Amino acid sequence: MPRAVALNVAANTNEPGVRGPVYPDGRFEYVPIPESEPTGEPVPTYADLDLDVDLPDGASERPVHLDPEFAEYPCCERYTYGDPFGVKARPLLDLAAGDYVFFYATLTTSGADDDRRDWVADDWGAYLVGQFRLARDPLDGEAFAALSADERRPFRNNAHVKREPFDAAVLLLGDDDGSALYETAVPLSRPDRGTAANRVVTDLSSDSGKGPWWRRPMTFGERETAELLAIRDDAAFERCFDD
């Protein structure tokens, strides 16, 4: 039975100064953060992604840190993710092929209130936006450097592989069948208050839901991962809430 880790990703009010939108029917737009480090080869800009979100003035020509990489997203090739920070790398390195990584983002509600699904937040909230089912065991930086050129090729478009110097403490590769950028966001917040976690966080994950839980990595055991996968397939998301 697989286990899982959930990580916070994507644009926020610090960088680039706006969250991605979530619409009344639960669809959303994935907006990556800007690239903050030198790169050894060109990377896409916000303009290359053809986004609907209104970016801050001057942001459209900024290069983006396109990580996680989702195969169905503009300028992406496969399902890859890298991270230089130990606080995220440690729980990821405990996973194995067949386990899951869920990615969540804070999103701002955009659209008419009278069309809004009852689980979409009033203002902003945290939502799952995609997942990987790991195609291989996670790699730390040394293990990646030891791979042959052919073995490294699936990671060639990852943002951390493009950085100069390479800085990933962990690299992940998702398989094509069990990985996806979602079409509909899955709520982690309660609809009346973005800072209030629903039971996916408080009952299923390792996190208490207290303090700034929407910034922290969360782990899920085997039973909890199975329930989370079932919740993702339930369009009403009734099991996200206690009442």
Q: What DSSP designation does 203 have?
A: I
Contact 95, 1 (CB under 8 A): no
**CA distance linking residue 12 with residue 161, whole number of Å:** 23
How many domains would you assign to the chain? 1
**CA distance linking residue 92 with residue 80, whole number of Å:** 13
Contact 140, 187 (CB under 8 A): no
Radius of gyration of the chain (CA): 17
Contact 225, 2 (CB under 8 A): yes
Q: What b-and-e string marks burial along 29-65, b requiring 16 or more CB atoms within 10 Å of the CB?
A: bbbbbebeeeeeeebbbbeebebebebeeebeebbbb
* Res 196: pLDDT: 97
Domain extent, residue 42, equals 4-240
* Res 171: pLDDT: 98
Contacts of residue 4, Cβ cutoff 8 Å, sequence gap at least 6: 95, 99, 100, 101, 102, 219, 220, 224, 225, 228
* Res 243: pLDDT: 57
Predicted TM-score (pTM) of the model is 0.97
pLDDT averaged per 10 residues in sequence order, the chain, 243 residues: 97 96 96 97 95 94 97 98 94 98 97 88 96 98 96 98 97 98 97 96 97 97 97 90 76
* Res 112: pLDDT: 81
Contacts of residue 129, Cβ cutoff 8 Å, sequence gap at least 6: 9, 10, 28, 30, 103, 104, 105, 107, 181, 182, 185, 186
